[in-house]
Chain A
Amino acid sequence: DTEVTQTPKHLVMGMTNKKSLKCEQHMGHRAMYWYKQKAKKPPELMFVYSYEKLSINESVPSRFSPECPNSSLLNLHLHALQPEDSALYLCASSQGTENTDTQYFGPGTRLTVL
């Protein structure tokens, strides 16, 4: 089973709204990732959680707030977003241990900020 699930599939929000994206995996992976992907571009790394601790923050604006409540779950809290934040948000996970590498991606949440 190499499944990473993400909800919702689509999200439309106003600039004053607060919303959350959810990502879940049950593969026992200990590293989880958030990426932002614009159309026809490669994914851009936002955050990495390793063993439920934030290990990489790629200078992401504070209007994006990640949370890792447990080893299977990763959230991305959104507040006061801008229209340019509209994108596909991808979650990924990997085993997160030595000599293990492959990241498995979820289907993404397509976010539109009005």
Chain B
Amino acid sequence: AQTVTQSQPEMSVQEAETVTLSCTYDTSENNYYLFWYKQPPSRQMILVIRQEAYKQQNATENRFSVNFQKAAKSFSLKISDSQLGDTAMYFCAFMKYSLRDDKIIFGKGTRLHILP
């Protein structure tokens, strides 16, 4: 069975700083996807970034980038130039490659506070 571990329940950083959220996972699958989802307080969960396991290149989306270490089963999220609007719960998630739908396995989340 797959598991996703986020070891930082809560973090706080000053606005404009860079912050890294940790995520490790365990799987015997070779083909899979990894995601970071963001859920602001009382707001919708949105996809921040995704990574296909077969791609060696780390995914980036503007200020958000990942450090994907497949051998170490590590998938950290780096937020550069953090903004107040980045305050949210961040979930790391795993999904194995599938012909159709399949389950997402979520980590327990990291609550990130961006301080003014």
- Contact status A40-B89, CB under 8 Å: yes
Asked if B47 is an interface residue, CB under 8 A from chain A, the answer is yes
B98, B101, B111: residue with the most chain A Cβ atoms closer than 10 Å:
B101
Q: Give residues 25-59 of B contacting A (CB, 8 Å).
A: 33, 35, 37, 43-47, 50
- Among the listed stretches B12-20, B66-74, B102-110, which one makes contact with chain A, having 4 or more residues with CB under 8 Å of it? B102-110
Instruction: Check: B114 CB closer than 8 A to any chain A CB.
Output: no
Asked if A101 contacts B91 (CB within 8 A), the reply is no
Chain B interface size range:
20 to 34
A96 and B101 alpha carbons, distance in the complex (Å): 5
Provide the main secondary structure of the chain A interface. loop
Task: State how many angstroms separate the Cβ of A29 from the closest Cβ of chain B.
Answer: 10
Decide: B101 and A55 in contact? CB cutoff 8 A.
Answer: yes
Q: A50-B100, A96-B101, A107-B43 are in contact. Are A101 and B50 (CB under 8 A)?
A: yes
| Interface contact A104-B47, CB-CB below 8 Å | yes
A43: contacting residue among B43, B45, B50, B111, CB under 8 A = B45
Give me the interface of B with A, judged by CB distance under 8 Å: 33, 35, 37, 43-47, 50, 89, 91, 95, 97-101, 103-104, 106-109, 111
- A: residues with CB less than 8 A from B are 30-31, 33, 40-43, 45, 48, 50, 55-56, 90, 94, 96-99, 101-108
